[in-house]
Amino acid sequence: MAGVEDEDTGAFARLWHAIVDQTITEAAFVEMVIDARRSQSDYDGGIRLRRMVEPLLVRAQQAAQAPADLTMDDLVLVQRMVYGVVVTAHDDAEARRAAERVLQLIGPTDGDDGAS
């Protein structure tokens, strides 16, 4: 994903929003990760995701653009929640509304008062 190595504090918000958007619009990418994790004993996607996101999260927190108490475990849980609402929604509109509500649970991630 382009721009994830940026030094600016907005990099976390851009990456997080891209991950969430991919989960909403292309849930199959999560299913591929789940399949890889279950079928490949050496799968390290979760570790690589954390290594990519965590430094950006810390930088955003230092700039007060993400909640100070937000952790990587929280983000992984929220992403799993978004996936859950997406695959159980009746249609795309319901999936997006439910996903936006899930995102509100973690608070703003880009320095404003919105959740996404």
Distances (CA, A) of 17 to 59, 100, 103: 16, 11, 10
Task: Print the domain residue range for 26.
Answer: 11-104
Residue 5 lies in a domain: no
Which residue, among 113, 114, 78, has the nearest Cα to 99 in the 3D structure?
78
Angle at 79 between CA 105 and CA 33, to 5 degrees: 175
pLDDT tens figures, 85-111: 989 999 889 988 988 888 887 777 664
Stronger pLDDT, 14 or 6, i.e. the higher one? 14
36 within 8 A of 43, measured Cβ to Cβ:
yes
Residue 15 lies in a domain: yes
Residue 114 lies in a domain: no
